[in-house]
Amino acid sequence: MRTKAILLGSFIFVLQSCIPSLYPFYTKDLLTFSPALIGTWRVAETKQGEGITIASTEATWHFTRKDDHTYTLEIRTPQSDGWFDAHLFKIGDQLFLDTYPKKSSVRQQSAYDCLEEVTSLHTLRTHHLWRIQLNDGHEIQLDMIDPDWFDKETIKQQSRGLYLTVNDTPVFTATSEQLVAWLQQHMSDPGMWGTMYELKREQ
């Protein structure tokens, strides 16, 4: 899988670490809501997994309540903002977050080309999956599917039929029910989860 690094404001995204989906990663019966997520969080640390490099500074994530099961998420950097619908859901004892882009804006022209390339992945209005841990209401840990692990799964045929490849990037095309079943099967597999963000509460 080709590695593609994008500078978006103060983010460096390796887009291969995000495997988007045309459909939500959850079904409605799995949705939950935690007031502990509401507030402003600053990216304090990122960790690098094999084949993944993500660096971020000066980025804040701001969650507000939209309705009973939906958050509005605003990610802000000095150069750009992005708005998402976010849904918290639970499979067994594990929490996950599904984010879905709504709109974005750029304050510095120099970031435009980068933002355009990132948002081009959202032409089909794709969902992204995070494994999330809420630690005492003061810290959030976010993990993404490790692309190297995913490559190995596709080689073993265990994920065939769930996705298509678009510009060297896998995109899940499976239904939400199929994605939930796939997560139930694999979410505890060693090596499945890669990059970790650590967010600290600001307010």
Q: Which domain holds residue 48?
A: 5-201
CA 183/CA 49 separation, integer angstroms:
20
DSSP annotation of 154? H
Predicted pLDDT at 196: 76
- Of the two residues 14 and 157, the one the predictor is more confident about is 157
* 169-189 pLDDT, tens digit each: 888 999 999 999 999 999 999
pLDDT at 120 over 70: no
Predicted pLDDT at 105: 57
Q: Three-state DSSP class for 30? A: helix
DSSP annotation of 2? -
Predicted pLDDT at 55: 44
Predicted pLDDT at 85: 95
**Is the separation of the CB atoms in 83 and 107 below 8 Å?**
no
CA 52/CA 37 separation, integer angstroms:
26
Handedness of CA 46, 39, 78, 108 (dihedral sign): positive
Predicted pLDDT at 13: 40
Predicted pLDDT at 131: 96
Span of 69-73, 83-87, 143-147, 183-187 with lowest mean pLDDT: 143-147
Considering its fold, how many domains does the chain have in total? 1
CA 145 to chain centre: 9
Report how far apart the first and last C-alpha atoms of the chain are (Å, whole number). Answer: 39
Instruction: Name the maximum alpha-carbon separation found in the chain.
Output: 45
Q: pTM for this structure? A: 0.80
Span of 33-37, 108-112, 145-149, 174-178 with lowest mean pLDDT: 108-112
CA 151/CA 42 separation, integer angstroms:
31
Predicted pLDDT at 147: 86
CA 160/CA 144 separation, integer angstroms:
20
CA 13/CA 15 separation, integer angstroms:
6
Q: Which residue has the tokens 């969902």?
A: 127
CA 140/CA 41 separation, integer angstroms:
8
* 3-51 pLDDT, tens digit each: 333 333 333 343 345 789 999 999 999 999 999 999 999 988 665 554 4
Q: Three-state DSSP class for 119? A: helix
Predicted pLDDT at 106: 53
- Of the two residues 199 and 159, the one the predictor is more confident about is 199
